[in-house]
Copies of this chain bind each other. A is one copy, B any other.
Amino acid sequence: MQSIQAAHLHLYNSKMKNSIKERRTVRKFSNKPVPESLIYELLETAFRAPTMGNMQLYSVVITQDEAKKKDLATAHFNQPMVAEAPYLLTFCADFNRVTQWCDLRNAHAGYDNFQSFLNAFSDALLVLQTFTVLAEAERLGTCYLGTALYNPEQIIEKLGLPTLVFPVAALSVGYPQEYPSQVERLPASALIHKETYQAYDAQRIEDIYKEKEALEVNREFVRINKVETLAQVFADIRYKKTDNEYFSEKLLNVLKQQGFLK
């Protein structure tokens, strides 16, 4: 029995690792229906993720309605998968529910602050990523939408999020209609530090990024964007200082509006 169990564990682990090793973000979804019961079941399982003091500081909004998804797509810079995927899941940091519970129980909730925001933000992401791993193991495809942090005020309005609720990220979910090639990653050793943080120097940065920069797909990316280096594609075109500063200011204002920055 022992050895059969061990063999099952091995099979299971290697398959699970493979699902994560082989993952790619999916942006084109098939018409194959995804049972709502499956989404619920996977979410319920994902709610087993660690959560601060077992307070479960999150809510998940499942949007299936076509018109509603189209409406929400505008908040996500009209990325087509938002409306096209059968499900849009918006994972929210939520201290509203706990605060209402405290109010009803003669307890003095004090969660209208930045620390509590980051606690709930963390809780929501741990659930989101657990759901992602589960969904991909079911051969569903997902696309992580960090755009929730760019236009949170629009999502708040469209989903009716009350105070002490904030949209952390969204996920498009459905069966894939594409099997895109996998994007590269930096060498793992570049991201792992032993005992303490090992500061990077110029030579180490050269070593870490040389393979990435040499890839034909990234060289093409530089040519298309008419710049000199891949780093310029990121810093001067895609994720620019002026944009980051504009969205930072907006983000802090929305956090205030939602009651998280007293």
A residues adjacent to B (C-beta < 8 A)? 8-9, 11-13, 15-17, 19-21, 23, 25, 40, 43-50, 52-56, 58-65, 68, 92, 96-98, 100-102, 104-111, 113-116, 118-119, 121-122, 125-126, 128-130, 132-134, 137-139, 144, 146, 149-150, 158-162, 165, 168-169, 183-186, 188, 190-197, 199-200, 202, 205-206, 208-209, 228-232, 234-236, 238-242, 244-245, 247-248, 251-252, 262
Contacts and interface: CB of A to CB of B under 8 A. Distances in A.
Given A196-B160, A200-B97, A191 B47 contact: yes
A188 to B, nearest CB: 4
Contacts of A59: 191-193, 197
Interface of A is mostly: helix
Tell me how many chains of this kind the complex includes: 2
Contact of A245 (B21, B113, B190, B248): B113
A205 B137 contact: no
Contacts of A133: 16, 129-130, 133
Contacts of A197: 59, 61, 92, 159-162, 165
Contacts of A92: 197
Contact of A15 (B8, B53, B168, B234): B8
